[in-house]
Structure 1
Amino acid sequence: MNVTSFCPKNISFYDIWVDHSVNHCFFDTFTSSLVAAYILLLGFAQIIIYRKYATQIDSRRLRVSFFFVIQIMLMVIMPIMAIVRLILRWKVYESHEVYGFMILYTALTIYAYTFGICLIMKERHYQLPSTPTRAHSMILLIFFTLLFVCENAALINLDSDSWWFALKNKTDRYELGFFVTRYVSTLLLFVLGISAPGIRQSDDDEAPLFEELTQQNDENASTFRNAYKKMSKLMPFLWPRKDFLLQSRVIICFVLLIAGRVINLYVPIYNKRIVDALSSPTPIFAWQLISVYVGMKFLQGGGTGSMGVLNNLRSFLWIKIQQFTTKSVQVELFRHLHSLSLRWHLGRKTGEVLRVMDRGTDSINNLLNYILFSIAPTIVDILVAVIFFMTAFNWMFGAIVLVTMVLYIAMTIAITEWRTKFQRRMNLADNATRARSVDSLLNFETVKYYGQEKYEIQCYEDAILDYQKEEFQSMFTLNLLNTAQNIVVCIGLLLGSLLCAYFVVHEDDHKRLTVGDYVLFATYIIQLYVPLNWFGTFYRQIQKNFVDMENMLELMKEDQEVIDAPSAPDLVCSRGGIDFSNVTFGYSKEKIILKNVSFNIGPGKIVALVGPSGAGKSTIMRLLFRFYDVNGGSILIDGQNIKTVTQSSLRKSIGVVPQDTVLFNQTIKYNIKYGRITADEHDVITAARSADIHEKILTFPQQYETQVGERGLRLSGGEKQRVAIARTILKAPQIVLLDEATSALDTTTERNIQSALARVCSNKTTLIIAHRLSTIIHADEILVMNDGQIVERGKHEQLLEENGLYAEMWNQQLKNLEGEKLRDEKAEEEEKKNNVPTTAAFHHHHHHH
């Protein structure tokens, strides 16, 4: 092989621009050196980091995918192709000349691709101490981008006779074949680099990264995964099926959108015509052209088309459609949350669920706006521009616009996809901050009791700092994206403007362009770039909205645990007899709470459940309300299995006075009326009288319109209990459940409430859960529970005679009562001596005022 010099004769390495094109010697040397230098410096650094810190991944977790094989094959084919090209130049091409730059290009290509394969293999088989990733490192992503950009750079020479695009001889045809193969290969490598098929590990034993509400097993996965599925779930909310007026609004909006595309094309054309008319040898006063131009600008608005009449009209018409969507989604989600089981609600942080609801509904509106009115029109505008430049100017202008736009969009998508994980982490940190603050404020009293304000503030500050750390990464990568976009845009503008200016000055083989054509090109390109500048933002927002939507769809996907049987009838509760037969139940498979429990309560009878805490008393109540379904056995009301009737009719027949009364942050009247929404004022007052709270309410300044505060905090325990009793009296159910209804009260208040409860329960089937045995002496039957089973049953006297668990509990409580009595007597004696009010008297006074 005879190598005479580095560059061909009569061409110097330093003469970059020769015959209206870049000289081969400079181009091949520069591009191959750039890629090789990049991979040498940064790739070497990455290899060192992997040597020091990486641990090997279990080979069983590595999947071999078809695309990974293709990626490696392409990386091997490229250097082989460079060798074949060099041999052809030496043996087959007509000139048989081989220069130094060709050998250097081949050597550097072999080196760069070999190093690239090493890096891919390192990333596949080794894991750095970070979260498991499913994307290539930034170093490899930029490497693939560089390879593709270098091939695109050759397109500058499309119009040159000295390059192979001219196809003058057999050599040019070979070279063009090589170029097309290289171009397609680097494009495929770029696309495969983004999806990183070799780095996906199997999911079998992969622990979820975040055990949060928004469970994301993979924070690097594309948010557009299953985008079609996600959108199809939302389609019912998007198209107003039953409203013809709204449907016609949608159609008008799309017509306005198309009109906007047409005007975007004609505004620069009219601008060109005005410039040509004014700059011709005999200038023309083109008032008609100017009038039409200004009229179109009025319709089009600013550069982004954000102030134009068409856009404002479309936005105005879209408001109603957007409101329809928001309402449909929010109502459906709210309905779904209310249909979920008690188990789900007990395990969730309310603040977090509300946050997900808000963000989810916002995301749908934003998604529609971005996709329909920002991204789709921008892409249509680009295609129209490419076709227009190819037909009105020549194919080179179309190629410049197309390549710039494709590169811009591809790069935006690649970097934005890489940024997704930071957005997801930021969302999780945001959720945590919100949940922390809500939780702390809801437990305001507890914080005060233990004087832990400092600790709470510290925890909240830590949560904010975690959020800000994630936010910083997100913002930093955004700046990186904006810089990269700017570089691509300016290169495209520079090439196009130079080409246009060249054709204005030189006639060449092409028709000569006018000054107006230059203005047309410059204004049209700028007009295209303005929305494209927002493309990254829109794409990122769409991604963020998909992430937010994922969280909401997770909520939507939550299965309902307790479901009505298909076409289930309503419960007919005429007498109110309850039958538990062999009921077995556990909140989880490992921990069974109730074991074959059987008992029955005759219509109108009172049965009490007693036993140590954790024996399963409250669980029986929850099962009767069908908050959970039994694992075995059955519960019957008047002979009907509660599993086969509708939940709403079952709950209508049962009234409950819970142990811990929770009230809405509304008026007292609202809270009592909640028992029967349709009740009138007279019914509410009657119920309050029966509950022995009417007189008390009249002492409040706003009487029945008094706000009770969040969870009823402004009322005392006894007052809350009586509101709950009034609510149940108003509901007038067949069956009444009392859950330790007076356990939290002092003796005097308890006596008053006992008489109110007696009124609720008269002639009703009643199940009482009690801690104080003195409150249930009158029960028709007492069931003593221990460890999920009924261990004793009978009337009060019988059970005392049996001398079992019940008698033991009874004696224990008697001792406690005697102790209390003695204390009270002592205090009274002290008081007589010193004439100081007793604590008992004080408590009595406190509870009655």
Structure 2
Amino acid sequence: MRHCDDSVLLRQRFFTDVHVDSWSEASAACEALSDEDASVWLLCLHQTMANKYSKRHTKQVALENETEQASLALTVEVSITVTGNHFIRFSVRLFEGSITPKCLCMFLSVHQKHQRQGQVEVISGSAWQGFRRKVCLLVPYMWPRGSVGLQALVILCVGLLGLERVINVFVPIYSRNIVNQLSAMESWRTLAITVCVYVLLKFFQGGGVGTSGFVSNLRSFLWTYVQQYTSRVVQVRLFTHLHDLSLRWHLGRRTGDVLRSIDRGTSSVNNLLSYIVFSIVPTIADIIIAIIYFVTYFSAWFGLIVFICMFLYLTITIIITEWRTKYRREMNTQDNIAKSKAVDSLLNFETVKYYNSEGFEVRRFEDAILKYQACEWKTNASLALLNQTQNLIIGFGLLAGSLLCAYYVTVDKFQVGDYVLFGTYIIQLYTPLNWFGTYYRMIQSAFVDMESMFELLTEEKEVSASLKFCFLFFVYRKEILSEVSFTVMPGQTVALVGPSGSGKSTIIRLLFRFYDVQGGCILIDGQDISKVKQNSLRSYVGVVPQDTVLFNDNIRENIRYGRISASDQEVEEAAVAADIHHKILSFPDGYDTEVGERGLKLSGGEKQRVAIARTILKSPRIILLDEATSALDSQTERNIQASLAKVCANHTTLVVAHRLSTIIKADQILVLHDGRIAEQGRSVVCVCVCVCVCVCVCPRASVTLREKNYCKDSNDTPCVAFSPSERPEHKRYKRGNVTPSLS
């Protein structure tokens, strides 16, 4: 084994959660490990991206570098600790100062099933892939809705664009007229008028460049307001969307990647419309007009020459630009990586100082810059190749047309002015064609730059359902609920606790519309549930009940009951998420195992996991846990808590529970008593602890939180409110010795 001193120890650690089901070898060994087991495994990382897994007692292993250039020893230390029945965590350290740290990134890609949240996916292929989808995303920003003034500006800009096309036709014509009038020795007055009209047209046109004339400048000035509108709307929507994304996404994002994607994406959207409408479309229109004009007023040969040259020019431009897109995309990726490394290093400034890793950070950043510059060189080289190819096509077309026109002049078919017209028109046409290649590349680059931003915009909001209970009143033989009001924000978990008969389960049944409220209302996302169809409401809500009843069928069909249309693969994925997949596979018949009437062949914990799998498969917006673990023993409850946490993650959740372990992580706790909310808030957890202990020991206790008489613990500390007549003075209670229970 190779040992390295502290100066070359790469202390940078990388962490990732990996789904063990994607590895059959790792999965089998993980089953035997408990949550508390701190066993260390080894993951042998090869630079060929092949992964091998083996259980070792040592923590380090020396691996030979498999590259052809060198045979340096690479020491990899990998700790794999079990964080649950379903996930394991890797930490990796490399020992070798001379090996570039790029191999550290390798193990981040070993799991393919679960992509890391918050990182922009790199898309391969043509930038025009998904063109329709991208345009559909852009269309709402192209037309300024709600602003009549901006809409009038858009129409005016399009009108100025058409005027430019007309001017481009008349400029060569008046150039021909001047030459013919000079050759014919026309009068000074006639010649002066022709020259003045020609100069006026050139003033409007802008010298044939199309970007510096009066009409073009006026259009650009007016279009600025539309561009600002588009840019503002895109940025505000993106900013709002990022704030709407879940905390899990923000915890997994790379700030540098996201910022670069936003910057490039918004600027691309800002310019894309002007590229297409005011550059590409006018150039194509000019080509069509030129072909028609030459065929009509010259001969079909001139139209054919213009058509062939334009066709070759456009085709070669598109082909080479598509080919070089991969270099542009790779350059953007390396740019993101370089900026992300810089931001990450600066954000972890103190950690870098703690471990004396300034040199490593500098080398890592320099390596990222070198990779970016290599991609940048390829991009620039391919651009030079494209420009030279375009120049060749333009030169050959101009040569062929000029020779033919000169021949017609010598045989008296054309006048000298016609030769000037042809040369002027072709040069005028080739000038925007040069810009066509540039603008096409800009559009291509804009689509590439927008891909990352579109990925951000299409990132689904994991949570969007809110619950609001407004002054609920319900009577069934007696008053059950009276003026109960509370709100569950999107993504929150709210727990309902209290003695039996306090109205906890009634709230669940009212939400599911087993009964209708007799006073007040229940709102989901601001919509009264009494005004929606029950089928629609119940597709929105998922329940994990206390007593799960299974059909006398196999396990697969019982899980599929959560969503009848689900495939076998989706059923198994739900079972994996509910942490019952391995247990099912251990049965002789696997998923085809019959569960018996009411599921009696399965244990209570197994039935609850099936219920959890059903809920996961249903994928509801709101989760209701109606005393989901109250019928289970403590050990089974602890084992199932992780599965419940996965179900409730990033969902709006309402929990009815008797056990403190079920509600301790709730965002808000409501204590119900006699159909009213007695206490609420996160601070009520400590009150619940006292209630749990004392009520469990002394069932006679009346939980009245507003009274000032208390049961005392061994330190004479008040721990729960009792009525004076029921205060158990004969015995002191020590908190923490009894399993908490609110039943």
- TM-score, reference length from structure 2: 0.53
Name 1:111's counterpart in structure 2. Answer: none
Name 1:798's counterpart in structure 2. Answer: 734
Name 1:377's counterpart in structure 2. Answer: 282
Cα deviations across residues 688-730 of structure 1 (Å, max 9, x unaligned)? xxxxxxxxxxxxxxxxxxxxxxxxxxxxxxxxxxxxxxxxxxx
1:444 equivalent among 340, 349, 371: 349
2:121 equivalent among 215, 226, 230: 215
1:305 Cα deviation (Å)?
A: 1.5
1:103-182 paired onto structure 2 within 5 Å: none
Please say if residues 562 and 629 of structure 1, whose CA atoms lie closer than 8 Å, have aligned partners that are also in contact: yes
Name 1:256's counterpart in structure 2. Answer: 160
2:655 equivalent among 616, 620, 634: 634
Counterpart secondary structure, 1:468? helix
For 2:242 and 2:718, the matched residues in 1 are separated by: 41
Counterpart secondary structure, 2:137? helix
2:445 equivalent among 544, 561, 564: 544
Counterpart secondary structure, 1:527? helix
Cα deviations across residues 131-152 of structure 1 (Å, max 9, x unaligned)? xxxxxxxxxxxxxxxxxxxxxx
1:396 Cα deviation (Å)?
A: 0.8
Residues 1:265 and 2:172 aligned together: no
1:514 equivalent among 390, 411, 415: 415
For 2:655 and 2:363, the matched residues in 1 are separated by: 51
The amino acid that maps onto 2:350 is E
1:336-735 paired onto structure 2 within 5 Å: 336-507=241-412, 512-564=413-465, 569=468, 574=485, 578-579=495-496, 589=577, 627-629=650-652, 634=655, 735=681
Residues 1:311 and 2:216 aligned together: yes
Cα deviations across residues 63-99 of structure 1 (Å, max 9, x unaligned)? xxxxxxxxxxxxxxxxxxxxxxxxxxxxxxxxxxxxx
For 2:681 and 2:234, the matched residues in 1 are separated by: 37
Q: CA RMSD in A?
A: 4.5
Deviates more, 1:468-477 or 1:481-490: 468-477
1:739 Cα deviation (Å)?
A: 11
For 2:732 and 2:183, the matched residues in 1 are separated by: 112
For 2:223 and 2:441, the matched residues in 1 are separated by: 23
Counterpart secondary structure, 2:388? helix
The amino acid that maps onto 1:459 is R
Q: Structure 2, unaligned stretches of length 5 or more?
A: 1-47, 50-110, 472-483, 488-493, 498-504, 506-543, 547-573, 581-607, 613-624, 629-637, 671-678, 687-704, 707-713, 722-730
1:616 Cα deviation (Å)?
A: 11
1:799 Cα deviation (Å)?
A: 3.6
Please say if residues 496 and 669 of structure 2, whose CA atoms lie closer than 8 Å, have aligned partners that are also in contact: no
What is the percentage of aligned positions where both structures have the same residue? 45
Please say if residues 214 and 428 of structure 1, whose CA atoms lie closer than 8 Å, have aligned partners that are also in contact: no
For 2:732 and 2:209, the matched residues in 1 are separated by: 83
Please say if residues 627 and 655 of structure 2, whose CA atoms lie closer than 8 Å, have aligned partners that are also in contact: no
1:736 equivalent among 679, 682, 697: 682
For 1:535 and 1:475, the matched residues in 2 are separated by: 18
Larger radius of gyration: 1
Please say if residues 331 and 372 of structure 2, whose CA atoms lie closer than 8 Å, have aligned partners that are also in contact: yes
Counterpart secondary structure, 1:579? strand
The amino acid that maps onto 1:406 is F
For 1:519 and 1:354, the matched residues in 2 are separated by: 53
Cα deviations across residues 291-337 of structure 1 (Å, max 9, x unaligned)? 11111111111332111111111111111111111111111122222
Counterpart secondary structure, 2:734? helix
Residues 1:275 and 2:169 aligned together: no
- In structure 2, the CA distance between the partners of 1:627 and 1:739, relative to structure 1 (3 Å rule), is farther
Cα deviations across residues 93-122 of structure 1 (Å, max 9, x unaligned)? xxxxxxxxxxxxxxxxxxxxxxxxxxxxxx
1:620 Cα deviation (Å)?
A: 10
- TM-score, reference length from structure 1: 0.47
For 1:247 and 1:280, the matched residues in 2 are separated by: 50
Please say if residues 295 and 302 of structure 2, whose CA atoms lie closer than 8 Å, have aligned partners that are also in contact: yes
1:222 Cα deviation (Å)?
A: 2.0
For 1:326 and 1:636, the matched residues in 2 are separated by: 50
Cα deviations across residues 378-424 of structure 1 (Å, max 9, x unaligned)? 01001111111111111111111111001000011011111111111
For 1:462 and 1:587, the matched residues in 2 are separated by: 44
1:496 Cα deviation (Å)?
A: 0.6
Q: Structure 1, unaligned stretches of length 5 or more?
A: 1-128, 131-205, 601-613, 643-649, 656-732, 741-762, 765-773, 782-794, 806-849
Cα deviations across residues 515-550 of structure 1 (Å, max 9, x unaligned)? 111111111111111111121211111111111222
1:228 Cα deviation (Å)?
A: 2.1
- In structure 2, the CA distance between the partners of 1:797 and 1:483, relative to structure 1 (3 Å rule), is farther
Counterpart secondary structure, 1:798? coil
- In structure 2, the CA distance between the partners of 1:397 and 1:259, relative to structure 1 (3 Å rule), is same
Cα deviations across residues 744-800 of structure 1 (Å, max 9, x unaligned)? xxxxxxxxxxxxxxxxxxx99xxxxxxxxx99x87659xxxxxxxxxxxxx995345
Name 2:129's counterpart in structure 1. Answer: 225
Counterpart secondary structure, 1:634? strand
- In structure 2, the CA distance between the partners of 1:575 and 1:419, relative to structure 1 (3 Å rule), is closer
Cα deviations across residues 604-636 of structure 1 (Å, max 9, x unaligned)? xxxxxxxxxx99999999999x84445xx8359
For 2:238 and 2:339, the matched residues in 1 are separated by: 20
Counterpart secondary structure, 1:558? coil
Larger proportion of helix:
1
Counterpart secondary structure, 1:531? helix
Please say if residues 363 and 549 of structure 1, whose CA atoms lie closer than 8 Å, have aligned partners that are also in contact: yes
Matched pairs, number: 444
Counterpart secondary structure, 2:577? coil
For 1:368 and 1:520, the matched residues in 2 are separated by: 33
Please say if residues 579 and 598 of structure 1, whose CA atoms lie closer than 8 Å, have aligned partners that are also in contact: no
Cα deviations across residues 176-198 of structure 1 (Å, max 9, x unaligned)? xxxxxxxxxxxxxxxxxxxxxxx
For 1:575 and 1:225, the matched residues in 2 are separated by: 48
Deviates more, 1:280-289 or 1:541-550: 280-289
For 1:363 and 1:311, the matched residues in 2 are separated by: 21
- In structure 2, the CA distance between the partners of 1:438 and 1:242, relative to structure 1 (3 Å rule), is same
Counterpart secondary structure, 2:682? strand
1:215 Cα deviation (Å)?
A: 2.6
The amino acid that maps onto 1:367 is L
1:361 Cα deviation (Å)?
A: 1.4
1:264 Cα deviation (Å)?
A: 0.7
Cα deviations across residues 244-265 of structure 1 (Å, max 9, x unaligned)? 1111110000000000000011
Please say if residues 356 and 551 of structure 1, whose CA atoms lie closer than 8 Å, have aligned partners that are also in contact: yes
For 1:779 and 1:428, the matched residues in 2 are separated by: 59
For 2:268 and 2:394, the matched residues in 1 are separated by: 29
For 1:457 and 1:373, the matched residues in 2 are separated by: 45
